[in-house]
Each structure stands twice: as C-alpha cells, then as structure tokens.
Amino acid sequence: MRLALDLASKAKGQTDINPVVGCVIVREGRIVGLGAHLRRGEGHAEVHALRMAGDEAEGATAYVTLEPCSHHGRTPPCCERLIEAKVARVVVACKDPNPQVAGRGIDRLREAGISVDVGLLERESMLMNEMFNKFIVTRLPFVTMKSAMTLDGKLAAKTGDSRYVSGPQAREMVHTLRHRHMGIMVGAETALVDDPELTTRLSVPAVHPIRIVVDSRLRLPLEARMLQDRSVPVLVLTVEGSDPGKRAALEAAGAEVIDCGGGSRVDLKIAMRKLGEREIGSILLEGGGKLNGAMLELGLIDKLLLFVAPKVIGGQAAPGVFQFDGFEKMAHAIPFRDVQVERIGSDIFLGGYPDYETGDRTGGA
C-alpha cells in the first residue's frame, strides 16, 4: 500500500479536479501490476495496473489507495474492471467521499464475491487527497495559504520591497505548491506592488494554476505581466457596478471579470462559491496581509504553510502576514492543529490547519 501511495503522489498537480490514486497488484508474493491516475479523463490507476498485470491479475490481490469507482464518468467504473479481471481480493486504503461512490464500489466488489479490506494506511490516503475530499463534498475549493515572513512577522519592508524574504530552497518549494493547486490567488495590492506572473517555474514540465486577482476597484493594470501570457487564464474577482470601461478593457486583454457581491468589497464567500462552480477545487492563497486576514476571519483558509526567515526587518508600516481587527483576548485566538515544523535551507517551515471551532470569539472585533 505504501508503494501505491508513492505512485499516487507522483501525479499530484496533474489530475485536475480528480483525486490522485495508486494501485499495486500482487500475485503469489510478486508485484505483477503498477498504476497511477495520471490525468483527468484518462485511465484510472486500476486500469493501468490491470493492463500491466494481464492474465496474472486473476486470483491476485489489488492494493488501491482510494475506493474503486462504481459509476460511469469520463471513464468506465473501475470496480467492473477488477471483477472482469477476476482478482481475488482488493485492499482499499479509504472510502471515496464522492457521493456518487461513497461505499458503492466496495459493495459491488463484495457482491461479485471479491474479498475487500478497508482502512490500511487510511490517514495517509486521506491527507494525500485532502483537497479533493473537501471539494467533492462541499463544492468549495480547498484553500492553502502560503506566506513567507521575517522573525518579526513582516511580509515585506516598509517600502513594500519583498525580494526576497525566504531563501532559494523555500522558493523552489513554492513553485511545487503552485503546480499542485488548480488556482493561485492574490489581492490587488500584491498585483500592483509585485507585478507577479504567478506561474510555476520548475525544471520539469508543470501545470500552471489559473491566476485569480481579488480586485474590488479593478486596479489591475492592463500592462500587468500576468495579462501578457494568455495561455493561462486570469480571473478578476470584483463587485457589481465596478468601472465598466476598465472591465471591458480587462476582458479585451484576456481576463475574465467575475462579480462577487454588490458591496464596496468582494464578498469572499461568494467568490469561493463561484470558483467552485468553475471546478477550481484547490487554491494557493499568496495574498497580502489584508486578504489573508479577511480569509482567515471568514474561516475560508483550510491550511497554512508559513516560511519563517531568520531575519528582522522592523518598521511599523511594514505589512504583516495577517491584517484584520483581531480579537479582544488571547483566549479568542485561532489555534492551529496538526502542526509540522522542519528546516528548509536557512528558513523554518511551519504547516498546520486552523481550528475555527475552538474558543469563543463572540467578543471579537
């Protein structure tokens, strides 16, 4: 099963809205088939592994990281392929949370007389597909917030200069993160100050995420670098009634302008719903302090990845990682669970999940 999980992990970022899945087929102590789901619309992991195993799949055991599908989508149901191949046993890491599957694949295999065991390395499989698991149930994107800060919590100097807070190893890791998310989101201020391309620069071919800019007043310049490359979509999230002339100009430049509420600021909850409707199942948030703070306050950040550089920049006007009114007491602070810490080059990497349910924040601002 660990081999199957390793095979699945190799395809992270390539399967679009689909989960990553690995499969290993074993007969009489020998591996006879290996497979992974590589791209949406193409053969699933079980199909590739069965094709490799051929006739030796009969009587074999198939180890699969996710419950075999039982419905017709872009490809035929995998449980039927396993039945046709006459495997004797299927070991499944975890059930598929997809309402179209949700135990039906396992039931179908058992109805066909195949022995099925469920739960081997379940947690590892669930974590690997945490983005898919949220989207398939809620139809809302899984939001990973990534940021780099100094020891005194600053994103940049008081002048706005932020090149570079973190070291080269951390920056290389960020491009891998971009490859593994379907969208990358920044605020208008970041787009104006940094003029980022928001692409994935890796030494191997990578999938570029859809570029998303939260821009209530349509301040994104027409000469912005992200608008010069039309091979990757740019979505501009704004409010109803924003400047029609600038809207038309941005659309002529290749951007798609999307209304998200009728107030003075983009309604981020509406924005997440509209991005989910476009099947953008995962977003890497690389915002400034205001956007980060607003997303956290609304409970829209699912995971935090933070690179802490061993340096101090100072400056009361220097932007911080989270900028919002905040809470009245330390007991109201949002804690993070399952925190991991490691060294990345000269920087410290922290990862964790916000626990919005802990604490009473009714007295917060």
pLDDT in tens, 306-318: 999 999 999 999 9
- Per-residue confidence band for 359, with pLDDT thresholds at 50, 70 and 90: low
**Residue 69 assigned as binding residue:** yes
pLDDT number for residue 363: 43
Q: What is the mean pLDDT of residues 198-215?
A: 83
What is the mean pLDDT of the segment spanning 65-92? Answer: 90
Q: What is the pLDDT of residue 74?
A: 66
Average pLDDT over residues 354-362: 77
pLDDT at 364: 36
* Average pLDDT in the chain: 93
Specify the amino acid at residue 155.
L
Please check if 189 is assigned to a binding site: no
Average pLDDT of span 184-204: 87
Please indicate if the annotation marks 216 as binding a ligand.
Answer: yes
Query: Can you tell me the mean pLDDT for 51-58?
Result: 98
Does CATH number 2.60.40.790 belong to domain 1-129? Answer: no
pLDDT at 365 over 70: no
Contact indicator for 57, 29 with CB cutoff of 8 Å: no
Q: Tally the residues of the chain.
A: 365
User: Is there a binding annotation on residue 292?
Assistant: yes
pLDDT of residue 42: 87
pLDDT at site 163: 86
- Tell me the whole-structure pTM to 2 decimals: 0.93
Q: How confident is the model over 201-222, as a mean pLDDT?
A: 87
The pLDDT assigned to 347 comes to 96
Is 294 annotated as a binding-site member?
Answer: yes
| pLDDT tens, residue by residue, 72-85 | 666 678 999 999 99
The predicted model gives 327-350 an average pLDDT of 94
Q: Please determine, for residue 110, whether its predicted confidence score (pLDDT) is greater than 50.
A: yes
Q: Which long-range contacts (CB under 8 A, 24 or more apart) does 341-344 make?
A: 344/167, 344/169, 344/170, 344/173, 344/307
Q: What's the pLDDT score for residue 73?
A: 67
pLDDT, position 361 = 59
Choose the weakest-confidence range: 137-141, 211-215, 292-296, 329-333: 329-333
- Mean pLDDT in residue range 180-197: 94
| pLDDT higher than 50, residue 102 | yes
251 is an active site residue? no
In percent, the amount of the chain with pLDDT more than 90 equals 82
Whether residue 329 is annotated as binding a ligand: the answer is: no
Q: Where are the domains of the chain?
A: 1-129, 139-354
Q: What class does CATH assign to 139-354?
A: alpha beta
Residue 174 or 283, more confident: 283
Q: What is the mean pLDDT of residues 286-313?
A: 96
Average confidence (pLDDT) over 124-130: 97
Is 190 marked as a binding-site residue? yes
Query: Does 4 show up as a binding residue in the annotation?
Result: no
Paired residues of 64 in beta bridges: 23, 92
The residue from 28, 42, 46, 67 that is catalytic is: 46
